[in-house]
Structure 1
């Protein structure tokens, strides 16, 4: 279900750069300050250094033509969500949720950062894993930042760091943006959590119209009781949120989960890479993978495996839901890392405990708010 939903989003939003190329005022674009989105990450120890996986995105706000396209996209997605009339609140929600699908990605940007309160005011240049110092055609850099232990300790003291968290900000010309990283100790307990239908109600098994409605036109709703369960872990527990949702939804989801109202523990984010630049061949590869299926399973397997591999001495608790493939993915992860995966917990949103109990064998089942007599009905 979510695969068709993502394909629809790509096809709706990806053509926007083509339309804007002929219309855009390049002079105004060059003078605008560019936002750098630093996705919350973690650091691990290796060779007497902290290594920090970094993902960032450089973009500019919507110009006139992109704002027009946003309205067109809203009408299309409104129709696919089977909604007749929208309230003003729903229109505002759509704008905030869809905005990052349409922002103008900036290629060729060199990003420099500085950690907050650094007495040395040291500047770091973010490079890709292939040592390229500039953003790609989609405005992104995926790379690795290294910090010597001594520098990390200095920054922790300067920031009065709690549980390894450090903050930083962009200092390169015409860029603004802030980011956070948690330096995670080699030993301890970590939670790797899904998002949709695990901590946030999306109702994926009910189909695309419901998913679109919940994603773009309704206030996000937390899965009942999950925030309390997560807050019950020791404060030294590290959290990693792994989702099949595209990176373009990172902002709204992060704001929701870590708001004062919901209060989920802060943690790193790991989401689906869905490129929308039609001039880059990888965009078509992304679409092809989604059409062929299995993209989310592979993505989660790779991302979770990478996290666990970075911490060979830590124990992991995997938390997901029964709505799609979390039980199968987590079972495979446990086979790969039997000594590290301490427990698998599944929020049973499709009544598998009663209707398909073998699927959840050996897993801790988290009951949902309601019980259904149907074996196919999604539970809220």
Structure 2
């Protein structure tokens, strides 16, 4: 970080040599007093790709032109719409194409996967997760264990930061898994903690879970499109994510699922059955008897929500053109520059609670303020900065490499330095 400089000219110079800078033009920005806002909220809702309106209009035209025959005759036939995402999604999460599918929404998918992978028996009934996980994950775990007749206070192991710390020690996670031993059924962690921005070592956690005979699953809501993932090579059992954050697929956008091929290709591995998960060759015979199709697609319940998936299609095309390796390289430098500038601020009392090690974070930095947090957040908003407020006193900012610039980061610093 010592090589950085705190000047507008320096930031603009970095933008001039940034090969990803042109991708910014592919997105719509909210406006503030006649200019683009400084948008640092991609960890909550990504910006709209400009291509979305064109692609949406094409689908509307196909619906008008073909009616029900659009399932077969649309430019992108609706019958197989979910397949158009598989290869691009697989690149982003590091999977085999058949291991991923775009479907449903995040918590629906989490429950569907837990119904397959959390099947307690023979004293193996506990779930291990991080304390302070996103509330929806906490609710899901609580109701899953209750459904099987267990008390959440006994069946759920929560790993919390040590006293006085904000992030969780990796060794504490691994030790807790080993200690739970053969009572542990599933480890389910967030890939990146939504509040602190801490990235958990998915590879090590998966290996530790498998060492005691437990499944390893992950909620990748804040990880997908943010950090490099290699789910197949890490032997992760299952994962799910939303697409409206870093994947820029619109509010309530279609979720995604990963299931390792050893389960997806096993027709006897339990999953809830739905028409769209059935073997395609027999789907329209309308017969009894669920025959799962190959891969993660067999977890599908219903046909693809086409209009919901249009933005997903547009955004994944941008990711495919930009490349995750290039995005990760820029992300590290962009976030590093933001950290460098924030640490130069002396007029505000706050602590960055996101790990400073680039290996333990994505592009989010969380600032915990000693006081005046909400006042500072409101001042940023009044100056055209869109960030994210979290109780009790945290401002989250995420410089997203697809559309944020080094100048954006510098201007955030300038505005904060004037408060």
- Tell me the TM-score normalized by structure 1: 0.28
Larger radius of gyration: 2
TM-score (norm 2): 0.26
